A and B are shown apart, each in its own frame.
Chain A
Amino acid sequence: MSESTVTPPVSASPAKVSKVTEAVIRFAGNSQDGIQAIGGFLARLAGRSEQEVMTFMTIPSTISGGPSIFQVRIGSGEVLSAGDEADMLVAFYQHSYEDHIHSVRKGGIVLYDSDHVQVKPEWESEYRHVAVPISSRTIEAIGGTAKDKGKNLFTLGLVAKMFDLNLPKLERLITERFTGKDESVVKNAMMAFNAGYGFSLGNLFETFQFVESQKRDGHQVVMNGNEAMAYGLIAAGIRFGAAYPITPWSDIMELLRRELPKYGGTFVQCEDEIASISMAIGASWAGRVAVTGSSGPGISLKTEALGWAVMAEVPLVVCDIQRGGPSTGMPTSVEQSDLNIAVYGGHGDSPRVVLAPTSVEDCFYTAIEAVNIARKYSTPVVIISDQAIATRIEAFTEPNMEKVCQDISPDLTPVADYKPYPLNAPDGISPRIAPGTRIMSGKYPIATGLEHDEMGHPTGSPKLHTQMTARRRKKLQKLGSELPVPKIYGPPEGNILLVGWGSTEGPIREAVDRARAAGDSVSSVHIRHISPLPPGLENIFAGFNNVFVVEMNDEGLYGYGQLCGLLRARYCDPKIRGLTKTDGLTFRVREILDRAKANVAEGLRKM
């Protein structure tokens, strides 16, 4: 906890109140304990209190049971990552206590369920232990046959008391959450919460208060990355999608299945991944860009069809919510190892667009950008998000809905004449018309995966294959030339440049802040457009002695992560080096800094 002021004096009673700017709290239990719900309430409360919030969770890939954690970082200032070290651990079981106590900073608080946890004496001097009989008090509070169901709300009450959280707002959130359920559910939830809030922590303990956060513009909305992407797709005008369930992509299809009918749209659960992308391509060809999505293994299955969309120049949006791979890999862990398949996956020369959102908010806007690029350039666009961004909750400024929402219904006005693949199209970009459009010349186009002439009819002509391949490439080169130059975080010249993509933006920026505060010369740049790459990167790289590409994937056979390999191939700059890891966990700020420094130390030897 960053403490700005401490309020003395330490008298016997009431307890000491400390002002803090932020707090990192980790809840550890089992997956059925509802700890995600506690985190959800806290995140939403932070959003409503104009505070910044970021969460981090792990869930076991087993169906029921298994250890699970939820970490929430709430701050009055900018929150960039879920936090390296927790200020407080709430441990429900012995395993939660033993497995997670080392995530707490020395001197931090360990609040444990004394019905389940035996304190280890050797840790008592390092952490401030607070015993609360969470299970038995919950049972006592609710009574009946509920057992300890509701201990998450009891715990929420405890936390609310300790951090002096806004009680009316929390009560309203709890009521809203259970509205529509049986009245006894709301009643029990409130009873558990109040019991926790009213539990006396004794005189020994201090409580905390967040300092007022700066007034922010507009309202904040609170959601996770998958929700933001799904709503972004709706805002972009997507009204049809098809997919097959797979973790962690499924939330998006569930949400779209539920929401699209309100807009007259449909989402179809298909028999497999290939059918899903095919159905989406069919719908796109029929006139309105459609979406499919998956996670690693499913993306592999979609690649043949993706190649067809490249060849036939049919717009399409494919979301890849990356998880640990290869194969079934680590379904509920994070990894950024699908960059290569997103950029290169498929046979033949099949260039496509690849975008990587950097935050929950960016998931919303990237979805819109993907749809617009797909339409303008008649190309498939792959959005590579990942498990961390998909499941973490952030608060962000509410979009101007009227402005961002767009209508992309097909225009079926008759046309005089039409060529789907014109060789003389400026920059190779050929707009599309939908079936149902009358063509007065009487010549109708065929969309095809065979190499073709300007009307889409098959050809074996060496000249045409060369020309058509160039067209499909050139339009994306054109897009690349028009992309904005990425902004450098920190000064444009220095010793170390950290290059990142996707969900690592927060921890990397925090690493930059921390390094600069310590007097080190570190900046960063985050790349949202993976393929084509934006212009100007070579100039950015030129300003630094060391360029480290920070990514959650393996260093590969030659020592470079996947984006790093792409950048080295593109810029032929030997100072671009990898900083990778494959433990299935998000980067911690300290990890990035320590690794970067070590790399510099051994630098020249490896160059």
Chain B
Amino acid sequence: MSETIVQAPARGNITAVPAIELPGAERKPITKKDISADHPTWCPGCGDFSVLALYFKLMEKRKMLHEKITTIAGIGCSSRFPYFVQAHGAHYIHGRSLPFSSGVSLTRPDLHVFVFGGDGDAFSIGGNHVNHTARKNIKMTYVIMDNWVYGLTKKQTSPTSPLGFKSKTDTWGAMDQPINPMKQLISAGATFVARATHTNPNHLLQMMEAAMDHDGFSVIECLSECVEFYEGAFDSSNPRKGGKFELVPATHDVTDENAAYALAAAPFPGHFGIFYKNNRPTKNANEAKINAAAMAKVAGKKDWEILQATFNRLK
């Protein structure tokens, strides 16, 4: 019958380096210099610069192994992110970065999966993927850089544009009810939901660290101003002289879904911080449990022997 014609060498002629790799602890920790790549193509003053700088800081601070960092994005200004990071990365199609990243997360528990994108990716074309990644609770960290406008395509209405915002597709002002990202994420079942702003870098770094440490689908909505097409959008969220950012009250119980929902209902500028968090098992863990049980039944058998046993029943 059909002969399998192609034998596939996995890596062809790539030069492998003998396994002299030092254990992580003995390696020189990575620096910002190691992990910065192309100069960002963002406009001067863009809020996204801040998110990128803090991502580098996070990598440094947590002494991450260079090759274990994966940076994934969809399409949009913010989604150019992976090109600016000198690490394994993927720039995927519009709106689908979450399912792509889910494929990475579910097959490679050794990697850190970070996903970056904008409000269009998250709440418009990719809206349903947010719901289902949240529902499945697949381990990864997702930073939504929300600027309330489509920037890459030069000023069309976004799903988070406030009512009345005048864009090229709503010259008389946006008329469709904007999405409330916090409410959306909480009701979808995300197990870590936080809100931050590019103008408060220390807080954003704290949120990124907490998100990374969360075992589950952790999401940060980070207000990130588009100076070109929506200048001043978030001005009222920035404290005036001597003032402070409006943080989530210390009394807020992050495990209380209703309280989180109430917090999300506050009018802009609202609050910054962790709105909601729970420790529901991840899909990664649930699948691993199923696999452990299934593999226990065939323990000691090679893969071909397992398939052989199945074929024996098909005779």
Which residues does A use to contact B, with CB under 8 Å? Answer: 47-48, 219-223, 227, 231, 234-235, 239-240, 242, 259, 261-266, 268, 270-272, 274-276, 278-288, 290, 304-305, 308, 312, 361-362, 365-366, 368-369, 371-373, 375-376, 396-399, 401-402, 404-405, 407-408, 410-411, 413-418, 429-440, 442-450, 457-458, 479, 482-484, 528
What are 12 A-B contacts defined by CB distance under 8 Å? A231-B307, A264-B291, A274-B96, A275-B132, A282-B72, A282-B92, A285-B100, A285-B104, A414-B17, A414-B21, A438-B21, A446-B89
Query: What's the interface size class on B, roughly?
Result: 35 or more
Task: Determine the chain B residues whose CB is within 8 A of the CB of A457 once the complex forms.
Answer: 37-38, 83
Given A271-B131, A369-B6, A437–B99 Cβ distance below 8 Å? no
Beyond A242-B103, A268-B106, A444-B67, list 10 extra A-B contacts (CB 8 Å).
A220-B315, A221-B315, A259-B310, A287-B108, A304-B93, A411-B16, A416-B17, A431-B13, A437-B88, A447-B90
Bits for B65-108, please: 1 = Cβ < 8 Å to A, else 0.
11110101000000000110011111111001011111110111
The reply to whether B104 and A262 contact each other, CB–CB distance below 8 Å, is no
Query: B313 — nearest CB in chain A belongs to which residue?
Result: A176
B153 at the interface (CB under 8 A from A): no
**Alpha-carbon distance between A266 and B225 when the two chains are bound, in angstroms:** 40
B202 at the interface (CB under 8 A from A): no
Query: B308 — nearest CB in chain A belongs to which residue?
Result: A401
Partner of B17, one of A220, A280, A407, A440: A440
Partner of A446, one of B8, B82, B111, B290: B82
B268 at the interface (CB under 8 A from A): no
Query: A305 — nearest CB in chain B belongs to which residue?
Result: B93
Given A401-B304, A407-B303, A436-B108, A284–B103 Cβ distance below 8 Å? yes
CB distance from A187 to the nearest CB of B (A): 22
The reply to whether A484 and B21 contact each other, CB–CB distance below 8 Å, is no
Partner of A437, one of B37, B67, B107: B67
The reply to whether A286 and B83 contact each other, CB–CB distance below 8 Å, is no
Partner of B93, one of A48, A308, A373, A405: A308
Bits for B224-242, please: 1 = Cβ < 8 Å to A, else 0.
0000000000000000000
The reply to whether B100 and A279 contact each other, CB–CB distance below 8 Å, is yes
Partner of A262, one of B8, B10, B89, B295: B295
CB distance from A217 to the nearest CB of B (A): 11
Could you tell me which residues of chain B, from 1 to 20, have a CB within 8 Å of some CB in chain A?
1-17, 19
Query: A176 — nearest CB in chain B belongs to which residue?
Result: B313
The reply to whether B10 and A408 contact each other, CB–CB distance below 8 Å, is yes
The reply to whether A263 and B303 contact each other, CB–CB distance below 8 Å, is yes
B203 at the interface (CB under 8 A from A): no
**Alpha-carbon distance between A445 and B37 when the two chains are bound, in angstroms:** 11
B259 at the interface (CB under 8 A from A): no
Bits for B283-315, please: 1 = Cβ < 8 Å to A, else 0.
000010011011101100001111110110011
CB distance from A54 to the nearest CB of B (A): 15
B128 at the interface (CB under 8 A from A): yes
The reply to whether A221 and B92 contact each other, CB–CB distance below 8 Å, is no
Query: B15 — nearest CB in chain A belongs to which residue?
Result: A416
Query: B311 — nearest CB in chain A belongs to which residue?
Result: A221
Task: Determine the chain A residues whose CB is within 8 A of the CB of B88 once the complex forms.
Answer: 435-437, 444-445
**Alpha-carbon distance between A396 and B19 when the two chains are bound, in angstroms:** 45
Query: B291 — nearest CB in chain A belongs to which residue?
Result: A261
The reply to whether B102 and A268 contact each other, CB–CB distance below 8 Å, is yes
B256 at the interface (CB under 8 A from A): no
Partner of B311, one of A48, A231, A266, A272: A231
The reply to whether A283 and B9 contact each other, CB–CB distance below 8 Å, is no
Task: Determine the chain B residues whose CB is within 8 A of the CB of A440 once the complex forms.
Answer: 17
Majority secondary structure, A binding face = mixed
Top-6 shortest CB links A-B: A282-B103, A431-B12, A283-B103, A261-B294, A435-B88, A405-B304
Task: Determine the chain B residues whose CB is within 8 A of the CB of A376 once the complex forms.
Answer: 6-9
Task: Determine the chain A residues whose CB is within 8 A of the CB of B68 once the complex forms.
Answer: 436
Task: Determine the chain B residues whose CB is within 8 A of the CB of A401 once the complex forms.
Answer: 304-305, 307-308, 311
The reply to whether A286 and B96 contact each other, CB–CB distance below 8 Å, is no
CB distance from B184 to the nearest CB of A (A): 15
**Alpha-carbon distance between A398 and B313 when the two chains are bound, in angstroms:** 12
Task: Determine the chain B residues whose CB is within 8 A of the CB of A373 once the complex forms.
Answer: 6, 8
CB distance from A239 to the nearest CB of B (A): 8
The reply to whether A272 and B128 contact each other, CB–CB distance below 8 Å, is yes
Task: Determine the chain A residues whose CB is within 8 A of the CB of B104 once the complex forms.
Answer: 282-283, 285-286, 435
B214 at the interface (CB under 8 A from A): no
B110 at the interface (CB under 8 A from A): yes
Given A221-B311, A231-B310, A439-B67, A262–B103 Cβ distance below 8 Å? no
CB distance from B292 to the nearest CB of A (A): 9
The reply to whether B107 and A283 contact each other, CB–CB distance below 8 Å, is yes
Bits for B188-218, please: 1 = Cβ < 8 Å to A, else 0.
0000000000000000000000000000000
CB distance from B59 to the nearest CB of A (A): 13
**Alpha-carbon distance between A278 and B102 when the two chains are bound, in angstroms:** 9
CB distance from B313 to the nearest CB of A (A): 8
The reply to whether B107 and A444 contact each other, CB–CB distance below 8 Å, is no
CB distance from A189 to the nearest CB of B (A): 18
The reply to whether A431 and B10 contact each other, CB–CB distance below 8 Å, is yes
B34 at the interface (CB under 8 A from A): yes
**Alpha-carbon distance between A120 and B132 when the two chains are bound, in angstroms:** 58
The reply to whether A413 and B291 contact each other, CB–CB distance below 8 Å, is no
The reply to whether B96 and A305 contact each other, CB–CB distance below 8 Å, is yes
Task: Determine the chain A residues whose CB is within 8 A of the CB of B155 once the complex forms.
Answer: none
The reply to whether A365 and B1 contact each other, CB–CB distance below 8 Å, is yes
Given A279-B102, A286-B103, A47–B315 Cβ distance below 8 Å? yes
Task: Determine the chain A residues whose CB is within 8 A of the CB of B65 once the complex forms.
Answer: 438
The reply to whether B308 and A280 contact each other, CB–CB distance below 8 Å, is no
The reply to whether A262 and B294 contact each other, CB–CB distance below 8 Å, is yes
**Alpha-carbon distance between A262 and B308 when the two chains are bound, in angstroms:** 13
The reply to whether A361 and B311 contact each other, CB–CB distance below 8 Å, is no
Task: Determine the chain A residues whose CB is within 8 A of the CB of B70 once the complex forms.
Answer: 435
Task: Determine the chain A residues whose CB is within 8 A of the CB of B82 once the complex forms.
Answer: 446, 448
B166 at the interface (CB under 8 A from A): no
The reply to whether A282 and B99 contact each other, CB–CB distance below 8 Å, is yes
